[in-house]
Amino acid sequence: KQEVTQIPAALSVPEGENLVLNCSFTDSAIYNLQWFRQDPGKGLTSLLLIQSSQREQTSGRLNASLDKSSGRSTLYIAASQPGDSATYLCAVINAGKSTFGDGTTLTVKP
């Protein structure tokens, strides 16, 4: 059974800092890995999807990497802003089946 772990569970940084969120998974037989953002009481917004054949994807200040052999993905956020404060979730996707981590709650202080 696929297990997904996100470390740290919570992170607080000052505005402007670069930061890395971690996601690890136990079964490397995946199709894709997707990163989401969730604001309190809201739905999930897709940030980046990395297909199993790719090693990284970039969107603006966000960069996500994937290392299937080690079962790890990282989400790098450059020059963090208070508006980046949210919970970040990673999901391992294998066809219709998906497994989510518990998320990292990020607080960016002005």
Partner 1 sequence: EAQVTQNPRYLITVTGKKLTVTCSQNMNHEYMSWYRQDPGLGLRQIYYSMNVEVTDKGDVPEGYKVSRKEKRNFPLILESPSPNQTSLYFCASSFSSQARAGANVLTFGAGSRLTVL
* Least CB distance to partner 1 at residue 7 (A): 14
C-alpha–C-alpha distance, residues 71 and 83, integer Å = 30
In the complex with partner 1, the residue whose CB is nearer, 18 or 45, is: 45
Is the Cβ of residue 14 or residue 53 nearer to partner 1 in the bound state?
53
Site string for partner 1, 58-97 (x = CB under 8 A): -------------------------------x-x-x-xxx
The set of long-range contacts for 46-49, using a CB threshold of 8 Å and a minimum separation of 24, is 47/75, 47/88, 48/75
- Binding residue (CB under 8 A) for partner 1 from 12, 18, 26, 51: 51
49 forms part of the interface with partner 1 (CB under 8 A) = yes
CB atoms within 10 A of CB 43: 7
Smallest gap from Cβ 17 to partner 1, in A, equals 26
Q: Of 65, 59, 75, 69, which is closest to residue 20 (Cα–Cα)?
A: 75
Least distance from C-beta 83 to partner 1, angstroms? 20
